[in-house]
Amino acid sequence: MGKINEKGIELIKHFEGFSSELYRDGGDLLTIGIGSTRGLDDALLDSTHRAITEDEAEELLRRDLGRAEYFVARLVRPPLTSNQFAALVSICFNIGSGNFQASTFRMKLNRYDYAGCADNFWQWRRVGGSAGRISNGLVRRRAAEKALFLLD
């Protein structure tokens, strides 16, 4: 495994959407493009970052996905199908590598409990951490990621 497949990219684009302008996501992080929290200069976004084009958003997405792909490949031991890898890259992209590493679903997967992994995606449905509010968008995203993970 090394690259997210098209199904995974489409899932991410569907749930992230596109914005050429800076906005605050549900977790109050400055975001741009297709869910990027870093600009073209790779610095964390701040109010001085300018609007971007769709091509620049695609460039940011490829960069960000490369990071998520790296962490999934590094932190997951069992063999994965293309769809399993894509689902894990999507959730890693969304929750961050630190949360991915600490997640129950990853620990279950590393014990070769594929079903247990998929059944624990739902735990990442809150905005603002474990004490945050449940987000309907994240509930739908986790269900879509689980479905992709379980797809043959």
Q: Is 10 a known active-site residue?
A: no
**How many C-alpha atoms does 16 have within 13 Å on its Cβ side?**
27
Q: Given 10, 16, 21, 56, which residue is catalytic?
A: 16
CA-closest candidate to residue 31, choices 9, 71, 60, 68: 60
User: Measured between alpha carbons, how far is residue 134 from residues 9, 61, 103 in Å?
Assistant: 24, 25, 17
CB neighbour class for 88 (10 Å; exposed up to 12, middle 13-18, buried from 19): buried
CB neighbour class for 47 (10 Å; exposed up to 12, middle 13-18, buried from 19): exposed
- H helical segments located in 1-152: 6-16, 54-75, 82-95, 97-102, 104-109, 114-118, 136-150
- Positions annotated as catalytic residues are 16
